[in-house]
Structure 1
Amino acid sequence: MRRRSSHIAPSPAPAFADDSRPSPLLGRTPRLGGGGGGARAGAGVAASPSLGFGGAGNLRSVPKDPHAAPTAQEVTARVLSVALRILRTPRALAALGWIALVWWASSYVRAHSHDLSQRPVHPRLLPLIRHSGNAIQYLSPDLGSKVKSWHDYQVNNDPSRPLSPEELEAASRHTYHPNGLLLVNPKGRHPIHLLIEDAERKWKEKVARQSRTLSEAVREYKRRHRRNPPKGFDDWWAFCEEHNVQLRDEYDQINHDLAPHWALEAHDSRHRNRVMQERDHTFTVAMHPGETMPTLHGPYYDLKRATDIADMLSLFTGRMHRPLNITYIIDDNPAVMLPYSQRERMVELGEQGEYYGPSEFIEGEDPTLSNFAQACAPNSPLRRAERGEFTPDYSGEAVRSFVWNHAKTADLCLHPEARKLHGHTMQQGVPLGPVVPLFAFAKTKLHSDILTTPIEQWEAHYVGYEPPWEGKSMNKLLWRGSTTGVEFNRHTPWRKSQRARIHIMSHETEGERHVIWSQRGQLREANVSTAVLNDLYMDTSFAGALQQCDAETCEILEKQFDIKPTIGLDESNTYKYVFDVDGNGWSGRFHRLMSMRSVVLKSTVFPEWYQDRVQEWVHYVPVKVDYSDVYDIMAFFVGMPDGSGGHDSLAAKIGEAGRQWARDFWRYEDMAGSRSAYMYRLGLEYARILHHDEGDVDFVEMPDFSV
């Protein structure tokens, strides 16, 4: 008997036509049942795999073909199996941890960025924060920039870090607000030092850039106003040469006043001019070419004011090329106000060489607003305030400030807080109406009168004792005035008017005031008794007989106010500081005060004809309408109660500069001077508007071929 080998050689695979394996069930019939057929069934099963039903009755599966494509379930199972094997490695676990940490840190920084930015960190961590920000920026630019900004914030706010000169200057810088106020930074120099330095520089630049020849003046005129000068401009220049008139380019006020009139056709302008000559409360000065003396007519032609004006205009009447009638309103207040949209439209048409006609559509203004607000731009602070909208508060109670641009602080559109603090502006305002050629001695920026030069209270020399600065014994602020500026009656809040407030403020004795002063150029602060400040700085009061008050209010004034007698020139000249405050209109005493060699503190809402020809903080000291800067100004110049912090020499410099300005820039010498130069130029400009349809109304400079 042969022994069975333990090695079984593989039998060769059978060849089939379709290369597929035959079913193991072919040629066999499964048997159902128990043990009777077990032997045969067993033999068949042992020979090859087969499907059958065992004793338990279960169906056995057929093995899968290894060459068949895997199913989606198998692919998913394999991928998950591989991923699980990878995630079990140490490197994968570390990577997952870093990703989780970055995600958590990002979420925390986003949710607590403000708190983190305010929380100081140890200086040794700052480099780590900076490098982390650089790294994070590759993953999230927004988050990386926040981390680096946090680093920069921590560096800049490190209390132990020395500041650079640029950072020191920026940290102490005051704010020059577009509304004309300098907002005080307590960390900076005392602002009055800066205001004086800046003003002196501006004044020197203005004087230096003035035209020196007629050709230069013509070029400058064209640059500013984009048109030729009026006919007779060369003769006006000769007039200025004869009388040594200064600042011959600074007449922008004239062009501002006449801007809406350029939108009227010439015959319309002449018609309105004739109508105004018949208006009540007016007088008219008529000038004719070749006649040296103008004539007067109108309802109030016999006033002394009218005669004085005619005498002044006679200085150039004979030089006029065309007849000209100028109608003055006799009141101290302006009388013409246009709605903002109408004025702006007329100015726009005039600049384009077009005319404003009856068919011109102008959007109506809000009738619930005051006339002052309706003369302002729609989004101006005054309009927003009257509509109940939020506007920043720049009153003295909200922010400490000084005036750096007096013309802007006198603009009510920019300063709604000042409107209720002046007798003229606390009212509704003159009725809105059409543009008419009325010449007024004073007006606010919102009025459309044509500003002219007043002559009242002007003298070439004021007789009286005139001591030098060192001889002025009273180191206080002087003001004496009548009860004008508002109607003093029970229906008017007269206590808030400009003259009543200065009296009330300077006689207070209760409480303290927070003042700033200067020590070696730096700003210092202190609380001082109000009674001490008023005793040290102020000598202001109503004077003379009571005016413009009903019986009830006159009695209140007599009982509650200290009415003092008026003082003469000799006594007033002994004061180093004098206050110029508006009355019913403009202040007629400004020229006299400027001639005293004293420092003039001026508060007004009426920019006058000379506003382009004078410099605040060089010739006088501007004061806010609410007077909140008066004590700080006096503390700077006079000093504190203990005598420290005064700047007497700077005050003397301003007083002398004001006196020289009144002498050289506001003259009437030899019956001429800059006042007549202003009116002569205004006459030429207005005559061109009245006759621009006749031709030959411009001055055209002929080329010089001799050069």
Structure 2
Amino acid sequence: MATGTTSNDVKTNREAKQLTASSRLRVNAFSPSIKQGDDSFQDTDHLHRKQQTESFRAQEMGRTAHTMPTRSESGMSKVGWTVVGGLAVLGLFLLLSSGANRYDYTSSPSYLSTSASAYKTATTSMDEVMARCARSGTHHIACKVEHAAELASQLVSRQSRTPQQAVLAYKRRYARAPPRRFEAWVKLAIQHNATIIDDYDQIEVDLGAFRQAGLVGDKLKRRMLEAKLRLPGWELGQVSVVDGQAVVLGPDAGPLSASTLIELLKPVQSIVPDVSVLFNWYAEPRVPHPSAQPASQPFDSLDVSGKDPTSVLGKACPSYHLTPKRSWDSLQPPIDYCQEDRDELGDLHGFLQAPANFHPVNKLVPMLSRSKLSNFADILAPNVCYGHPMYLGYVDKIPWEAKDDSLYWRGTTTGEAQTSATWARGHRHRMLRYVKQLREAASKLATGVEADPFDDIYASNRTVAPSRQSVHVAGNTLPLFDYTDGSVVGALKRLGSETFNVAWNRFVLADEPTMASLMANQVTTDNEDRNEPYKHKFALDLDGQSMSCRFYQLLASSSLVFKQTIWSEYHDDRLIPWIHYVPLDLRVQNNELPMLLDFFIHHPQGQKAASKIASASREWAAATLRPIDVSLYYARLLIEFAELYNPVY
């Protein structure tokens, strides 16, 4: 952004043209006034039950402390599944220990948290922060970066340093004694110099759904057995720990496999009690939060692959959402699907239109998944790719100052079930079509010819339709570039087409008509070196079928990461937007991307802020996103789940 362009000017242009009053999607950097809804949970939230009796609170406080990727991506098949670890029989006995009896959704008071509030809202409103920055002459984006840095510092400073401190912090946070093996976990975490000891609220949210439903102990095991009996084995994996050794049922080929998870669990398996939980190897989540189901209704899995999931997702909307708003919610709230304008949201992301592999179940069942929407009851666990060397790449040895002032992304056409009539609706496709328009517009502003330089570079042997000829192709929901928007035009003149080094590396998951349509309207660059992003100051990360496995590699680099996503992940407790990454709105047509790049490249405050984010994300990844941190999260999750699996009454 040019120094003379004010945030109010940009805000007025963006909001007047693109935003609706009801929309509460990912926060646009140039629209800080978008309403974000309530900052705290409803009183009905199962984690904030203030109505619990004092006697029950005393009872809880007085407890004695106890010493997949998609089938198309991974080649998943029924034949390719195996049991890793050599303890399959022992692993399965935990599930098969009792028969599949009926249960209902009557809440069990002894398993409801009495914590007044497990999630704290921001102590300083964003309006106050912005007002303070305005008085000091700080640009509103640089202001967000500085505020986010303060929040990150607070997150670190409030962590416990000893097991005794961690026990006290746990009791204060959740109003109950910590689970068995908790102190052993804390000692192991401290031994490995873990940064985060106390902030594991996502686990509390995820397991809270089962506590509220009274789905614990034998009921929990019977529900898991019911799922195992009703669903084919290739649909459902399993993670067990038996006598300190992990057992994993799942695909055993490639990095996203049972063997990878076994390796992640090895450093921590000795401190995990005997426990077993289902594991979802699909990329997409599987447990939309269900309404109460009759006890006699059989457990089932729907196949919504390639279909409109709106009805299924809508039925899963409870009165509260299962993804918490955290202390930095004034910077970037999670998407609450149940509160969004679903017509608008449905036009922006492939999963919400036609997911490639979506097999939701009809009852509440404990299942580990890599990501989910706000109204899903899957238990979030780290994707095993986050701990595999192939997805971490090599160390970035290029200093920030030596990198190109450009944005880089390469990927494939995943993210939705593509057809020749619909492929242009997907979130990746919209971003790639949008960036193509930016290159065309930048070329016209510089040379007078609206043409994409990438067409000549990467598709010199074929004809690629320019955006104005393909505006009605394949269900496109993206408007054409608006040359009357003076602020964006000015930014593109300064940036030039070479700033947007974003393209497909290949087309996948497409039949012949779809492939022909893609080829006529898009370019591919072929595969490039995995460390190619390191040459660029800015790296883009986009959802695929679900979350993106490249995220940790990018965060660990010396580049600034732009991330666009609808998904909640396990690490949302410890990654703070605007200091560890820059969030991008799903509505790419609001021109947020070029305005951000212009600010970070050309504005003096932006250059400083960009360098600060790139440095902070690298340091944070080295401290909190190591493979051992992934292992420790699994251990903490399994230890907490074991309290539901084998409760002490």
Give the TM bin, normalised by the shorter chain: 0.5 to 0.7
Correspondence for 1:463: 394
In the alignment, the residues of structure 2 paired with residue 650 and residue 532 of structure 1 have an alpha-carbon distance, to the nearest angstrom, of 19
SS in 2 for 1:680: helix
Shift of 1:414: 3.6
Question: Of residues 315, 326, 340 in structure 2, which corresponds to 1:374?
Answer: 315
Counterpart AA for 2:350 = G
In the alignment, the residues of structure 2 paired with residue 514 and residue 324 of structure 1 have an alpha-carbon distance, to the nearest angstrom, of 61
In the alignment, the residues of structure 1 paired with residue 578 and residue 533 of structure 2 have an alpha-carbon distance, to the nearest angstrom, of 22
Is the alpha carbon distance of 1:201 and 1:297 closer, same or farther for their aligned partners in structure 2, counting shifts above 3 Å?
A: closer
- Contact 1:620 / 1:658 at 8 angstroms: preserved in 2? yes
Counterpart AA for 1:562 = V
Question: Of residues 327, 332, 337 in structure 2, which corresponds to 1:406?
Answer: 332
Shift of 1:216: 2.6
Counterpart AA for 1:330 = W
Shift of 1:452: 0.8
In the alignment, the residues of structure 2 paired with residue 437 and residue 415 of structure 1 have an alpha-carbon distance, to the nearest angstrom, of 29
Q: TM (normalized to structure 1)?
A: 0.59
Shift of 1:457: 5.8
Correspondence for 2:557: 596
Matched, 1:424 2:351: yes
Correspondence for 2:381: 452
Correspondence for 1:261: 210
In the alignment, the residues of structure 2 paired with residue 415 and residue 191 of structure 1 have an alpha-carbon distance, to the nearest angstrom, of 27
In the alignment, the residues of structure 1 paired with residue 183 and residue 625 of structure 2 have an alpha-carbon distance, to the nearest angstrom, of 22
Correspondence for 2:586: 625
Correspondence for 1:196: 145
Per-residue CA shift, 1:229-274, capped at 9, x if unaligned?
Answer: 1111111111111111112111111111111211214111011223
Correspondence for 1:248: 197
Higher relative contact order (CA 8 A, sep 6+): 2
Correspondence for 1:475: 405
Correspondence for 1:635: 598
Shift of 1:469: 0.8
- Contact 1:285 / 1:325 at 8 angstroms: preserved in 2? yes
Count residues in correspondence. 459
In the alignment, the residues of structure 2 paired with residue 368 and residue 618 of structure 1 have an alpha-carbon distance, to the nearest angstrom, of 34
Superposed, 1:237-636 pairs within 5 Å as 237-262=186-211, 263-277=214-228, 279=231, 280-289=234-243, 291=244, 293-297=245-249, 300=251, 305-321=257-273, 323-339=274-290, 342=292, 370-377=311-318, 405-409=331-335, 411=337, 413-414=339-340, 416=342, 417-427=344-354, 431=360, 433-456=362-385, 458-459=387-388, 462-463=393-394, 466-472=397-403, 474-490=404-420, 493-508=422-437, 509-510=440-441, 511-512=481-482, 525=487, 527-528=489-490, 535=497, 537-544=499-506, 546-627=507-588, 628=590, 629-636=592-599
Matched, 1:678 2:640: no
Is the alpha carbon distance of 1:532 and 1:618 closer, same or farther for their aligned partners in structure 2, counting shifts above 3 Å?
A: closer
In the alignment, the residues of structure 1 paired with residue 530 and residue 397 of structure 2 have an alpha-carbon distance, to the nearest angstrom, of 9
Counterpart AA for 2:339 = C
Superposed, 1:160-239 pairs within 5 Å as 175=33, 177-179=35-37, 190-239=139-188
In the alignment, the residues of structure 2 paired with residue 310 and residue 252 of structure 1 have an alpha-carbon distance, to the nearest angstrom, of 25
In the alignment, the residues of structure 1 paired with residue 31 and residue 426 of structure 2 have an alpha-carbon distance, to the nearest angstrom, of 34
In the alignment, the residues of structure 2 paired with residue 620 and residue 548 of structure 1 have an alpha-carbon distance, to the nearest angstrom, of 30
In the alignment, the residues of structure 2 paired with residue 608 and residue 407 of structure 1 have an alpha-carbon distance, to the nearest angstrom, of 13
Counterpart AA for 1:325 = S
SS in 2 for 1:528: helix
Shift of 1:333: 0.6
Per-residue CA shift, 1:588-621, capped at 9, x if unaligned?
Answer: 0001111211000001111211111111111111
Shift of 1:217: 1.9
- Contact 2:600 / 2:610 at 8 angstroms: preserved in 1? yes
Shift of 1:579: 0.3
- Contact 1:635 / 1:645 at 8 angstroms: preserved in 2? no
Is the alpha carbon distance of 1:465 and 1:261 closer, same or farther for their aligned partners in structure 2, counting shifts above 3 Å?
A: closer
Is the alpha carbon distance of 1:526 and 1:500 closer, same or farther for their aligned partners in structure 2, counting shifts above 3 Å?
A: closer
- Contact 2:181 / 2:639 at 8 angstroms: preserved in 1? yes
Counterpart AA for 1:661 = W
- Contact 2:289 / 2:318 at 8 angstroms: preserved in 1? no
Shift of 1:558: 0.8
SS in 2 for 1:576: strand
Percent same amino acid among aligned pairs? 24
SS in 1 for 2:577: coil
Is the alpha carbon distance of 1:685 and 1:413 closer, same or farther for their aligned partners in structure 2, counting shifts above 3 Å?
A: same
SS in 1 for 2:509: coil
Is the alpha carbon distance of 1:470 and 1:369 closer, same or farther for their aligned partners in structure 2, counting shifts above 3 Å?
A: closer
In the alignment, the residues of structure 2 paired with residue 176 and residue 368 of structure 1 have an alpha-carbon distance, to the nearest angstrom, of 27
Shift of 1:467: 0.9
Whose radius of gyration is greater, 1 or 2? 1
Q: TM (normalized to structure 2)?
A: 0.64
Per-residue CA shift, 1:90-136, capped at 9, x if unaligned?
Answer: xxxxxxxxxxxxxxxxxxxxxxxxxxxxxxxxxxxxxxxxxxxxxxx
Is the alpha carbon distance of 1:602 and 1:410 closer, same or farther for their aligned partners in structure 2, counting shifts above 3 Å?
A: farther
- Contact 1:478 / 1:577 at 8 angstroms: preserved in 2? yes
- Contact 1:578 / 1:601 at 8 angstroms: preserved in 2? yes
Question: Of residues 601, 609, 616 in structure 2, which corresponds to 1:650?
Answer: 609
- Contact 2:289 / 2:377 at 8 angstroms: preserved in 1? yes
Shift of 1:437: 1.3
Shift of 1:555: 0.3
In the alignment, the residues of structure 2 paired with residue 446 and residue 211 of structure 1 have an alpha-carbon distance, to the nearest angstrom, of 31
Correspondence for 1:705: none
Correspondence for 1:61: none
Q: CA RMSD in A?
A: 3.5
- Contact 2:145 / 2:613 at 8 angstroms: preserved in 1? no
Superposed, 1:96-107 pairs within 5 Å as none
Is the alpha carbon distance of 1:570 and 1:216 closer, same or farther for their aligned partners in structure 2, counting shifts above 3 Å?
A: closer
Is the alpha carbon distance of 1:577 and 1:410 closer, same or farther for their aligned partners in structure 2, counting shifts above 3 Å?
A: farther
Per-residue CA shift, 1:283-311, capped at 9, x if unaligned?
Answer: 2232112x4x323346x467751111012
Shift of 1:677: 1.3
In the alignment, the residues of structure 1 paired with residue 614 and residue 369 of structure 2 have an alpha-carbon distance, to the nearest angstrom, of 29
- What 5-or-longer segments of structure 2 have no aligned partner? 1-29, 40-124, 298-307, 322-327, 442-480
SS in 1 for 2:501: strand
Is the alpha carbon distance of 1:173 and 1:443 closer, same or farther for their aligned partners in structure 2, counting shifts above 3 Å?
A: closer
- Contact 1:412 / 1:418 at 8 angstroms: preserved in 2? no
In the alignment, the residues of structure 1 paired with residue 639 and residue 329 of structure 2 have an alpha-carbon distance, to the nearest angstrom, of 34
Is the alpha carbon distance of 1:277 and 1:661 closer, same or farther for their aligned partners in structure 2, counting shifts above 3 Å?
A: farther
Counterpart AA for 2:625 = W
- Contact 2:505 / 2:524 at 8 angstroms: preserved in 1? yes
SS in 1 for 2:508: coil
Shift of 1:646: 6.7
Is the alpha carbon distance of 1:681 and 1:561 closer, same or farther for their aligned partners in structure 2, counting shifts above 3 Å?
A: same
In the alignment, the residues of structure 2 paired with residue 529 and residue 674 of structure 1 have an alpha-carbon distance, to the nearest angstrom, of 40
Matched, 1:661 2:620: yes
- Contact 2:353 / 2:416 at 8 angstroms: preserved in 1? no
In the alignment, the residues of structure 1 paired with residue 311 and residue 563 of structure 2 have an alpha-carbon distance, to the nearest angstrom, of 27
- What 5-or-longer segments of structure 1 have no aligned partner? 1-171, 344-355, 360-366, 381-401, 517-524, 696-707
